[in-house]
């Protein structure tokens, strides 16, 4: 079994422990509330919330009517965060998202008018219906949490989250997301149909349409800060590094940035499981959703193969 190193600072002040437990209880309420709206989608909701705690962006994929937009709106609502939604189309321009400078005759100067990107939760609906030029307008915002227009850089609000929905590649009128854009999403979550029982309940109107606000921007920021403190032992980092190496072939593979994303989501999973250290199971649970969309068409198969073939412990890795 892979040797683990517990938190090297076990003497945590009582006030910090109490605050951490309060945040985790609040997180449980948030999860329960979202699952009231999206019945039977436990795995998808968990991964979405872990990504939110890890300060990442989420790409939701699936056919129409499976709840992609419902999940995105529920996440924004339950966090108590303002959201802006943009329907991506082929004629959408970058300035329609970032905003633009407009000449003001009274001032005899150009004045910047912020676009819908200036919010806490930006919902990009059917993102792959937008042109590559418009998709690229999101790159700086997603990576740097800022927007540059006409040589002026403006910081975005914190927390900032992009929730994008994507139609399957075989749908008509879609543009494939470039690799640089895909890499900005921490996870890709496929939305599958609900179970028969849950679908019957939805058809009968037995689930609410809107989630209730439970958390706040300050509460989420505090939880994100606490998640970043979750300890990663050198042995666990070594396991992630071997997974990265196992995906690398002549036609590409996972980058170090992808490994950092794996550990960020693994930290969030550990935190939600009442632990202050990452276990190998945390890595295995989140590896495929973080890795697959970064590796092209063969990504899912390669990610699964890497998990199956990579040992938990390399020779001589017995010391943390």
Each of the 320 residues of the chain gets a pLDDT tens digit; together they read 444 444 444 555 556 666 788 899 999 999 999 998 888 889 999 999 999 999 999 999 887 778 888 888 898 889 888 889 999 988 899 899 998 888 888 887 888 888 999 999 999 998 888 888 888 888 889 989 998 888 788 899 899 999 998 877 666 667 778 788 888 999 999 888 888 888 888 888 777 777 889 999 999 999 999 999 999 999 999 999 998 988 887 677 888 999 999 999 999 999 999 999 999 999 999 998 998 888 866 666 777 777 788 777 644 343 34
Q: What is the pLDDT of residue 315?
A: 40
CB 146 within 8 A of CB 153: yes
For CATH 1.10.8.80, list the domain ranges present in the chain. 230-320
From residue 146, how far is each of 5, 160, 180 by CA, in Å? 37, 10, 17
Q: Where in the chain is the domain with CATH 3.40.50.300?
A: 14-229
Strands 152-155 and 146-149: antiparallel
Q: Omega into 320 within 30° of 0, i.e. cis?
A: no
Using one digit for the tens of pLDDT, what is the confidence trace for 256-311? 999 999 999 999 999 999 999 999 999 999 998 998 888 866 666 777 777 788 77
Q: Using CB atoms within 10 A of its CB, is residue 300 exposed (0-12), middle (13-18) or buried (19+)?
A: middle
Q: What is the pLDDT of residue 124?
A: 92
CA angle 160, 257, 84 (to 5 degrees): 20
**What class is the 14-229 domain?**
alpha beta
Pairwise CA distance, residues 191 & 41, whole Å: 9
Half-sphere exposure of 234 (CA within 13 A, CB side): 7
- CA 193/CA 276 separation, integer angstroms: 34
**Other C-beta atoms lying within 10 Å of the C-beta of residue 285:** 19
Distances (CA, A) of 260 to 113, 145, 163, 254: 35, 18, 20, 11
Torsion of CA 70, 189, 287, 55, to 10 degrees: -50
Provide the pLDDT for residue 129: 86
DSSP 8-state symbol, 292: G
Q: What is the spatial distance between Cα 179 and Cα 183, in angstroms, rounded to a whole number? A: 6
* Strand, helix or coil for residue 33: helix
> Hey, what's the torsion of the CAs at 314, 230, 224, 263, to 10 degrees?
0
pLDDT reported for residue 320: 44
CATH entry, 230-320, from 3.40.50.300, 1.10.8.80, 1.10.3080.10, 1.10.8.60: 1.10.8.80
Considering only CA atoms, which of 243, 239, 257, 244 is closest in space to residue 4? 239
The token pair at 39 is: 């019945």
pLDDT at 249: 78
The predicted structure's pLDDT at residue 234? 94
Q: List Cβ neighbours of 315 (8 Å cut-off, separation of 6 or more).
A: none
Q: Centre a 10 Å sphere on the Cβ of residue 144 and count the other Cβ atoms it contains.
A: 12
pLDDT of residue 17: 67
The answer to whether 122 and 163 have CB atoms below 8 angstroms apart is: yes
Angstrom CA distances, 94 to 6, 117, 141, 236, stand at 47, 11, 12, 41
Q: How many CB atoms lie within 10 A of CB 126?
A: 20
């Amino acid at each position: 079994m892979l040797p683990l190193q517990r938190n090297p600072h076990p003497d945590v002040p009582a006030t910090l422990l109490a605050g951490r437990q309060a945040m985790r209880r609040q997180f449980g309420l948030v999860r329960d509330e979202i699952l009231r709206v999206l019945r039977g989608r436990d795995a998808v909701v968990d991964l979405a919330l872990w990504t939110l705690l890890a300060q990442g962006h989420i790409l939701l994929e699936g056919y129409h009517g499976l709840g992609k937009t419902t999940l995105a709106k529920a996440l924004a609502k339950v966090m108590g965060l303002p959201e802006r939604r943009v329907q991506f189309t082929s004629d959408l321009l970058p300035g329609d998202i970032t905003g633009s400078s407009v000449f003001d005759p009274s001032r005899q100067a150009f004045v910047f008018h912020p676009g819908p990107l200036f919010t806490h939760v930006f919902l990009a609906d059917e993102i792959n219906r937008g042109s590559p030029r418009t998709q690229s307008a999101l790159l700086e915002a997603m990576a740097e949490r800022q927007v540059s227009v006409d040589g002026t850089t403006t910081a975005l609000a914190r927390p900032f989250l992009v929730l994008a929905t994507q139609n399957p590649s075989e749908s008509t009128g879609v543009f494939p997301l470039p690799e640089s854009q895909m890499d900005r999403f921490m996870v890709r979550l496929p939305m599958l149909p609900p179970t028969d029982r849950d679908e019957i309940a939805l058809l009968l109107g037995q689930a609410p349409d809107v989630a209730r606000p439970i958390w706040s921007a300050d509460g989420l920021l505090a939880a994100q800060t606490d998640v970043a403190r979750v300890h990663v032992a050198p042995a666990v980092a070594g396991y992630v590094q071997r997974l990265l190496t196992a995906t690398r072939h002549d036609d590409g593979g996972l980058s170090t940035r992808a490994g950092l994303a794996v550990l960020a989501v693994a930290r969030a999973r550990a935190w939600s499981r009442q632990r202050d250290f990452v276990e190998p199971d945390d890595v295995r649970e989140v590896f495929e959703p973080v890795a697959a969309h970064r590796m092209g068409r063969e990504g899912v198969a390669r990610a699964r193969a890497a998990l199956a073939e990579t040992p938990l412990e390399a020779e001589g890795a017995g010391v943390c």
